[in-house]
Amino acid sequence: MTYPWLKDIEQQLSTSFAAGRFHHGQLFNGQQGVGKSALVEQLANALLCQQPNGVQPCGQCKSCQLNQAGTHPDKFNVAIEGQSIGVDDIRTVSHFMSHSAAQNGNKVVIIKDCHKMTTAAANALLKTLEEPSPERFLLLTSTATTQLPATILSRCSRTDVQVSDQMSAQQWLASLQIIDYPWLSLFYKQPLLIQAWQEAEQLESVDQLYKFATELKQGHNFSALVDIINKDSELVRVFCLFISEQLKQQLVSGMDFDTYQQSQQALTEFYQNSTQVLGLNLPLAISRLAYSLRK
């Protein structure tokens, strides 16, 4: 099993797998930190395994050993270089698919973040999806299927991957000794994101962002906040989420709706500027945000 909250999805996949109804093009959609990568890796290994139990690879056979070593010749992982997946990457996929399997069985291609395909790449992939060959499988993941062409979507079997049972995520995080942060519940739907912060020793930084968000006032010295965001630009989104949650609570406890909307608007502008404007003066932008929120 990959993660406890994916138990139901794995069960469904096992059923179609056992019945020989496993679709040749599988798309796994869900937000970051939910376990899509682990799920497709496991599926690929099960498709290549000589004696899988449902979607669980046996872990013993030659194929499983090759997968554990990361050298299975019938598995191909499309790596994203830069911002997009180009047509050359997909040509490599078609080429890989067209050759016979080294282990006399299935061949599997994994394309993560497939919404990053260029239009030409998507068109090239469409050919592979339209003319499926037996024993060839495409496993795709995406955090933004709305960015995919309808032609791709219609030719894939689609599975939404999410944390359906927050309790299991909470317990899993507790098993990693991640428990006593007031903001933790905001990320129960993205438990692997929290784990990644733990591994990168960023939990304290995220906690500091939370404290900044709850006490944001103009005139503060924002340098510690700026330092944290400069180290990892992804954390801007987290900081904005904390402020947004703060505003929602203030709305519930009596903030008038116009003020609430204006504050959320200021926050959206801050987020857009900090992610899109190169060379933005971040201390100034935060100071402005604090000023708008204080009004």
The DSSP 8-state label assigned to residue 79 in this structure reads P
Do the beta carbons of residue 188 and residue 213 sit within 8 Å? Answer: no
Is 49 a binding residue for Zn ion by CB under 5 A? The answer is yes
Determine the interface stretch with Zn ion among 45-53, 95-103, 173-181, 285-293 (rule: CB under 5 A). 45-53
Rounded to 5 degrees, what angle do the CA atoms 174, 178, 183 make? 110
Whole-number Å distance between alpha carbons of 104 and 123: 29
The burial of 223, by beta-carbon neighbours within 10 Å (0-12 exposed, 13-18 middle, 19 or more buried), is given as exposed
Residue 39, interface with Zn ion (CB under 5 A)? no
Q: Which two tokens stand for residue 267?
A: 């926050």
From the CB of 36, what's the least distance to Zn ion, in Å? 22
Which of the ranges 43-51, 108-116, 126-134, 191-199 carries the binding residues for Zn ion, by CB under 5 A?
Answer: 43-51
Smallest distance from the beta carbon of 282 to Zn ion, in angstroms?
50
Encoded one letter per residue, x for contact with Zn ion by CB under 5 A and - for no contact, window 53-72 reads ----xx--x--x--------
Nearer to Zn ion, 57 or 191 (CB): 57
Taking the least distance from each CB to Zn ion, the nearer of 61 and 126 is: 61
Find the shortest distance in angstroms from Cβ 14 to Zn ion. 15
Binding flag, residue 80, Zn ion (CB under 5 A): no
Q: 76-101: string of b/e by CB count within 10 Å (b at 16+)?
A: bebeeeeeebbbebbeebeebbeeee
Cβ proximity to Zn ion: between 61 and 196 the closer is: 61
* Residue 39: CB minimum distance to Zn ion, A: 17
Residue 143: CB minimum distance to Zn ion, A: 30
DSSP 119-152: HHHHHHHHHHHHS--TTEEEEEEES-GGGS-HHH
Count of H helices and E strands in the chain?
Answer: 13, 5
Please report, as ranges, the residues that interact with Zn ion according to CB under 5 A. Answer: 49, 57-58, 61, 64
